[in-house]
Amino acid sequence: MADIIVDVSYHNGVIDWSKVKAAGIKGAILRCGYGDNIASQDDKQYKRNADECTRLGIPWGVYIYSYAKNTAQARSEAEHVLRLVAPYKDKMSYPVFYDLEEKGTESVAVQNALVFGDIIENNGYMCGIYSGQSWWQKHIGNKLDRFSKWVARYNTQKPVGISGTYDIWQFTSGGRVNGINGRVDINEVYRDFPSEIRGKKSTPIDGYVKENAGVLQDTNTEHLGKANYNVHARAIGWLPTVCDGMLAGSEGQNRRIEALRIDAKGNADVSVHMRGIGDKTYTNVTNDTVCGTVNEQRRIEAIKIVGKDCFYMYRVHQHKKGWTEWKNNGEWAGEKGKSLQLEAVEIKKSMFSVNAHVQTEGWLGEVAAENVIGITGKSKRLEAIKINPYGKDIKVKAHIQTEGWVDYGTITKDTVIGTVGEGKRLEDLCFKGDFFFRVHLQDSGWTPWTKADGIATLGTVGQGIRIEAIQFK
């Protein structure tokens, strides 16, 4: 048999809670306030109601009426609740409910609720959602199924068309209860909240967010450049766009990344590895492509970007692991299958890509031009390189052992600069393009950075000294 509880606000006046208890009412949900965290918007009877319910042993929780039109306001509403319930944290026996019914907030209600709920749960409270049957059907659906549900339907028939199950049915706003003057909302409860809440507290998925720790990206300004991207972060939602290797997300806050958007401005595929789903690839992404999930509490654990008309470099900050090394176009960044959330990403476009052919190693694989290309410290000669210019105009001349200078002119991705299978070292290089370069020479190490002006050369001629590696910027 369901318990009968009431929900009240200052509109119900000064309540005689002793009479309410004697009338057989088993609990109460008290309005603590409405809207933003402003003292004037505290419910004027909340403290008295909370003190009286606590004194008399009446199980109780709270609700706040939401006016939020964005996630910033939802966060303020969560802070409003936390301020008011803090003195009663170990005395509450029902959840904190978020009241969604304000006209004009329908389109943002779900996202606001997720932000609100994360904050409430991260502070050790159970969170629930209140709304009328039509709102659940039209605006919420199954998107808030992770929370306790409180449904209003003023009818002799119980709510219908609600995703999953609901815990509380508000069946009338015209009830009469001894100790309360006038009409009052009355509810049936189908869940033993007091046992759950006063017992062992559950830990949120992926633990608690550390709101005031670590580093959070710039949340005030968008930054646009060659590679633009933004992330959907736990308890915040979509963060502003950043660009060209800037941090997107956070460090040290235990705040998972749930989704990623990249403004590729070209042809690119993005793959993400998600909790409970695994790998998923999004082809030919645009700025509107959501790579990952929203509203499902799913962390991203690894990402892979494949640019087809540019070459991407990226790295991720993974929980407990910190930052990975920079990964090249088509490589996974992050560890799969270890339940470690990504918390931040940095993405940039390389100038072009380079593949190196090294003594006894062969072709090493395509990497960003900004990387060290070749092998240092092992006395191995660089024998050839291939550059994919990705539309850039690059001219190259190379001095090759026993062959002298070879002018390759304007190169393509298929141009082999040097030799393969002949055991010949690259000895000197000259480039023309919009970049700087340096080479690592046998015995002497790295040369200074030099502009690729088509005149300057790096290396030696006639000294039998091998180039071991090259790097561009």
- Residue 299 to residue 279: CA distance in whole angstroms: 12
Confidence of residue 398 (pLDDT cuts 50, 70, 90): very high
In sequence order, the 6+-apart residues with CB closer than 8 A to the CB of 95 are: 61, 125, 126, 127, 128, 148, 193, 197
Instruction: Give CA angle at 151 (150, 155), nearest 5°.
Output: 140
Contact (CB, 8 A) for 212 and 38: no
Residue 82's Cβ-side half-sphere holds a number of Cα atoms within 13 Å equal to 16
Confidence of residue 417 (pLDDT cuts 50, 70, 90): very high
Is a pLDDT exceeding 70 seen at residue 200? no
CA dist., res. 220 & res. 213, Å (int):
18
Closest-CA residue to 65 (of 80, 52, 45): 80
Tokens of residue 424, six digits:
């010949």
Report whether pLDDT(204) > 90: no
Question: Looking at this protein, which amino acid is placed at residue 75?
Answer: R
- Name 431's bridge partners: 396
Q: Tell me the mean pLDDT in the region 379-395.
A: 97
Instruction: Classify residue 224 as left (phi > 0), alpha (psi -120 to 50) or beta.
Output: beta
Comparing CA positions, the residue from 130, 121, 136, 54 lying closest to residue 81 is: 121
Q: Where are the domains of the chain?
A: 3-198, 215-349, 353-472
For a pLDDT cut of 70, what percent of the chain falls above it?
99
Task: Give the tens place of pLDDT for each residue, 62-73.
Answer: 999 999 999 999
Q: Residue 298 in contact with residue 273, Cβ under 8 Å?
A: no
Nearest-10 crossing angle of helices 71-85, 109-122: 40
Q: Are 168 and 8 in contact (CB under 8 A)?
A: no
Q: What is the dihedral of CA 70, 71, 74, 80, to 10 degrees?
A: -120
Segment 279-306 mean pLDDT: 94
169 is written with which tokens?
């049915």
**Per-residue pLDDT tens digits for 67-94:** 999 999 999 999 999 999 999 988 999 9
339, pLDDT greater than 60:
yes
pLDDT given for residue 202 in this prediction: 62
pLDDT in tens, 163-172: 888 999 999 9
Please report the pLDDT score of residue 444 as a whole number. 96
Give me 308's structure tokens: 């087809």
Query: Does pLDDT of 201 surpass 60?
Result: no
Q: How would you class 347 by CB atoms within 10 Å of its CB: exposed for 0-12, middle for 13-18, buried for 19 or more?
A: buried
pLDDT at res. 50: 97
Could you tell me which CATH number the domain at 3-198 has? 3.20.20.80
Angle at 383 between CA 462 and CA 386, to 5 degrees: 125
Mean pLDDT score, 299-322: 96
pLDDT > 80? residue 278: yes
Q: What confidence score (pLDDT) does residue 296 get?
A: 83
Residue 1: the pLDDT is 67
Count CA atoms closer than 13 A to 210's CA, side-chain side. 11
CA 174 to each of CA 43, 62, 327: distance values in angstroms, whole numbers, following the listed order: 21, 20, 63
Give the pLDDT of residue 389: 97
Mean per-residue pLDDT over the chain, rounded = 95
Q: What's the pLDDT score for residue 206?
A: 87
DSSP string, 36-54: SS-GGGB-TTHHHHHHHHH
* Alpha-carbon span 14 to 52, nearest angstrom: 11
Q: How confident is the model at residue 109 (pLDDT cuts 50, 70, 90)?
A: very high
pLDDT for position 177: 97
Which of 223-232, 287-296, 351-360, 378-387 has the least mean pLDDT? Answer: 287-296
Find out whether 41 and 67 touch, Cβ atoms under 8 Å.
no
| pTM given for the model | 0.70
Vertex 396 angle, CA 395 and 400, to 5°: 165
